Amino acid sequence: MKIEIEIDGKSFEVEPGKMIIEVADAAGIVIPRFCYHKKLSVAANCRMCLVDVEKSRKPLPACATPVTPGMVVRTRSKLALDAQKAVMEFLLINHPLDCPICDQGGQCELQDIALGYGSDNSRYDQGKRSVKDKNLGPLIETEMTRCIHCTRCVRFGREIAGISEMGSIGRGEDTEIGTYVEKSLTSELSANIIDLCPVGALTNKPFRYRARAWELTQHSGVSPHDCVGSNLHIHTRRNAVMRVVPKENEGINETWISDRDRFSCEGLSSPERVTSPQLKRHGQWETVDWQTALQTVVEALQDVTEHHSADRIGGIISPNATVEELFLFQKLLRGMGCHNIDHRITQTDFHYQQAMPTYPKLPVSIADIEQQELIVVIGGNTQHEQPLIHHRIRKAWDNGAKVIMINPVDFEFNFTPTQTLLVENRRLPEALTGVTRCLAESQQDTEIAKDLLQSVAVTPAHREVADALLSAKAPLILLGAGAQNHPQAGLMYALAERMAQLSNGNVGLLTAGANAAGAWLVGAVPHRGPTGLNVSKPALDVQRMWESELPAYVLFNVEPEHDCANSAKALKALSQAALVICLTSYKTPAMEQYADIILPIASFAETPGTFINVEGRWQSFQAAVIPKGESRPGWKVLRVLGNLLSLDGFNYVVNTEVTDELRSLATTNTPEQPAGPWRYPSHLPTVSEGVERFCYWPIYRSDSVVRHSQPLQKTPLSETPVVTMSPQLAQRLGLEAGTEVKVSQGGDAVVLQVCISHRMVGDTVGIAAGFLETAGLAESFGTVKIERI
């Protein structure tokens, strides 16, 4: 039942329950506002949106007045304008009007609205109040005297970030927005309050005083840090990325981006960028021109093919590479006769690879996650891995959905999951088997994987998860990084699929990097070519490539010491190789040791390209700036290499020709059906004894751009390399927090400090990857020995 209302002489048919401001916004009728924001609850405290409503004795706030049948609203009548101007005058009483030195100048809601509704002089002649600034950490600058107390930032914390850190402190004239105790904001979404702030009270700290809004050029982009594919506006000036802000896309990131998406651009100007091609000659690095470098690469690769064979080359590419780069990378290597191609650098088990679909794709859209009835996350710290997917999961929870976490660590989330099934990392498969057994028995469908299911005793926790799965209509099971990187990833994926079958649910992978879907589709895997066609001769996956200690490796935007699982194995393989070619944006100290040729490639915002996100959405973007120094877009470097190697089909002029080729392959090729059904083992693999490592990538160690962003490295969410264990385990080992210990694995050892956390369980210890300090361990998920030094 719709009702009819009139705004400024125009009639609208609207849903009852809507507020006047929503109807006006949809119709393009401008009502000034400060506190109202479509994604936040209604506060109605700024009073700027007062409008004239017929039959009302006084003006009403459009943000908090629901429509009623026959309502007549005037937004520009004398009554409305007088009210709005009066509010404006009050708001400006304490505002410093320091626009010339304010970063918000030129992009300020207060400034814009004051232009329309403010007076050109003030009747207020007394002292203005001033407010002490707050220190909110390395990302957000404050100038609290400018604050007009709209409370958008306060509501954002409560409603979106799920962590209340800002509040209205004091009352009346003494009210201040702040944290009361000095603290840096800890939310991974915190910097969205910069965009929400309608004045210059909260501004972008790294960007402070660097540019004026009107000097900037806006480019569209896509975030390269997770599989969400958040839409960005990249603001540039004189060929430098000055800042990144969200580009609204209701289906993906709504109006938000994570702090990682926003501040990673600070890493683009790092002094560790490589800006020219370099060759190692007699152990010394020399800067050379592109022609020499490319010629050397070609000769070196031809040398490997002649003296060994093409399949003795290992090609490893980042899952953050663009579709174009991934496609050309595999085309180049396959053109030479090498199928050793992989992007699954954080993974350790590939048993499932034949059963994978052409490319992983969530069974529901990102937006639909918030409509789910039950979400089961297996092995995922979603809040840090995919912040904006986690935001949707939290919204689902807020809507009444059940959220169950099956994890090896009791990760801290911004809501309390309905149930958390905590088990040691090595016992995750056992937990899933237990749940599957409950489901199978309830559904009287126990034939599949019978022996495996029988081998596990069911616990009440298993039953609780199973009951939740059975009572939900279509549960969504999500596998996070902890499940995909697990040494039993294949078995866990199979069990998740079986759980879904038995409960009429669906399974989705929250894949690593920005473009794992693209990588699968183009065939950046050793067993399949573009569009999922099987290759004649299955080749080595990334772990086999390290173990085989090949004579030559080609690394594309990969720093194995930071980015790869089983990093010590990788480093060992690289150090024995005769040839290591790195196409990279950054040069690391380890790379100087293992690399022989470095080709500088464009980083984020410097290259055109395409990402396919976790829901299978293709998103193409243009370069916002030209690459730093002599770097060149990766796809162009690969194209030239293809030509120099005299390979067919490398005559692309623009990058869209690459995606066009892929698209046409996708329409003509019909990939064979995945090799399922899964083959289940008859029993679980034997579980090792002793302390085991759980390896994860902290939120701000996820890729090289992020690692080079200094502001992100200074936030409270930034981690240091430590070994985290439960108080019980620490006690058993006789260790205290801060003790330096030797963590060893076979012949490898690293020295780390002990961190004690009640979030750890059993004999699992957390040792993050992404640090040079932890790169010396060969098994990301193996047993470790911990000794006091």
- Give me the residues that bind other proteins (CB under 8 A), please: 158, 163-171, 179-181, 412, 757-759
Specify the residue, 366 or 760, whose C-beta has the smaller distance to other proteins: 760
Tokens 């003296």 identify what position? 307
Contact 256, 262 (CB under 8 A): no
Q: φ and ψ at 133, to 5 degrees?
A: -75, 155
Residue-wise DSSP of 283-326: TEEEE--HHHHHHHHHHHHHHHHHHS-GGGEEEEE-TTS-HHHH
Specify the residue, 659 or 726, whose C-beta has the smaller distance to other proteins: 726
Nearest-Å Rg of the Cα atoms of the chain is 28
Q: φ and ψ at 43, to 5 degrees?
A: -105, -35
Angle subtended by helix axes 489-503 and 460-471, to nearest 10: 50
Specify the residue, 78 or 758, whose C-beta has the smaller distance to other proteins: 758
Contact 274, 598 (CB under 8 A): yes
Output the six-digit token pair for 212: 């004026």
Specify the residue, 683 or 759, whose C-beta has the smaller distance to other proteins: 759
Least gap, CB of 724 to other proteins (angstroms): 11
Specify the residue, 82 or 412, whose C-beta has the smaller distance to other proteins: 412
Least gap, CB of 366 to other proteins (angstroms): 28
Least gap, CB of 460 to other proteins (angstroms): 24
Least gap, CB of 162 to other proteins (angstroms): 10
Least gap, CB of 94 to other proteins (angstroms): 18
Specify the residue, 90 or 180, whose C-beta has the smaller distance to other proteins: 180
Output the six-digit token pair for 435: 């749940």
Specify the residue, 183 or 742, whose C-beta has the smaller distance to other proteins: 183
CA dihedral of residues 451, 455, 456, 458 (deg, nearest 10): 70
Give the number of other Cβ atoms within 10 Å of residue 498's Cβ: 25
Contact 697, 769 (CB under 8 A): yes
Contact 566, 774 (CB under 8 A): no
Specify the residue, 412 or 740, whose C-beta has the smaller distance to other proteins: 412
Least gap, CB of 167 to other proteins (angstroms): 4
Please list, in sequence order, all residues whose beta carbon lies within 8 angstroms of the beta carbon of residue 115, skipping any fewer than 6 positions away.
none
Contact 544, 552 (CB under 8 A): no
Least gap, CB of 152 to other proteins (angstroms): 15
Specify the residue, 151 or 610, whose C-beta has the smaller distance to other proteins: 151
Give the end-to-end CA distance of the chain in Å, rounded to a whole number: 74
| Nearest alpha carbon to residue 417 among 425, 408, 426, 407 | 407
Contact 457, 434 (CB under 8 A): yes
Helices (H) and strands (E) in the chain, counts: 25, 32
Least gap, CB of 154 to other proteins (angstroms): 8
Burial 269-281 (b: 16+ CB within 10 A, else e): ebeebbeebbbbe
Specify the residue, 281 or 759, whose C-beta has the smaller distance to other proteins: 759
Cis peptide before 198 (omega within 30 of 0): no
Specify the residue, 70 or 170, whose C-beta has the smaller distance to other proteins: 170
Least gap, CB of 756 to other proteins (angstroms): 8
Contact 459, 360 (CB under 8 A): no
Least gap, CB of 62 to other proteins (angstroms): 27
Burial 212-235 (b: 16+ CB within 10 A, else e): eeeebeebebbbbbbbbbbbbbbb
| Nearest alpha carbon to residue 583 among 267, 301, 234 | 301
Contact 536, 336 (CB under 8 A): no
Least gap, CB of 760 to other proteins (angstroms): 11
Specify the residue, 111 or 724, whose C-beta has the smaller distance to other proteins: 724
Least gap, CB of 262 to other proteins (angstroms): 23
Cα–Cα distance measured from residue 29 to residue 20, given in angstroms and rounded to the nearest whole number = 10
Least gap, CB of 171 to other proteins (angstroms): 5
Cα–Cα distance measured from residue 542 to residue 262, given in angstroms and rounded to the nearest whole number = 31
Q: CA dist 611 to 447, 521, 563, 602, 604, Å?
A: 41, 11, 19, 16, 12
Specify the residue, 93 or 169, whose C-beta has the smaller distance to other proteins: 169
Least gap, CB of 659 to other proteins (angstroms): 46
Contact 511, 356 (CB under 8 A): no
Cα–Cα distance measured from residue 92 to residue 107, given in angstroms and rounded to the nearest whole number = 17
Least gap, CB of 720 to other proteins (angstroms): 16
Least gap, CB of 383 to other proteins (angstroms): 14
Specify the residue, 170 or 251, whose C-beta has the smaller distance to other proteins: 170
Q: φ and ψ at 492, to 5 degrees?
A: -65, -40
Output the six-digit token pair for 159: 């409603």
Contact 662, 531 (CB under 8 A): yes
Least gap, CB of 157 to other proteins (angstroms): 8
Three-state DSSP state, 140? strand
Contact 722, 693 (CB under 8 A): no
Least gap, CB of 194 to other proteins (angstroms): 19
Q: Answer positive or negative: Cα dihedral of 329, 332, 335, 338.
A: negative
Specify the residue, 171 or 238, whose C-beta has the smaller distance to other proteins: 171
Specify the residue, 132 or 758, whose C-beta has the smaller distance to other proteins: 758
Task: List the beta strands (DSSP E) in 413-558.
Answer: 419-422, 476-479, 506-509, 552-556
The DSSP letter of residue 157 is I
Contact 18, 34 (CB under 8 A): no
Specify the residue, 656 or 757, whose C-beta has the smaller distance to other proteins: 757
Specify the residue, 179 or 643, whose C-beta has the smaller distance to other proteins: 179
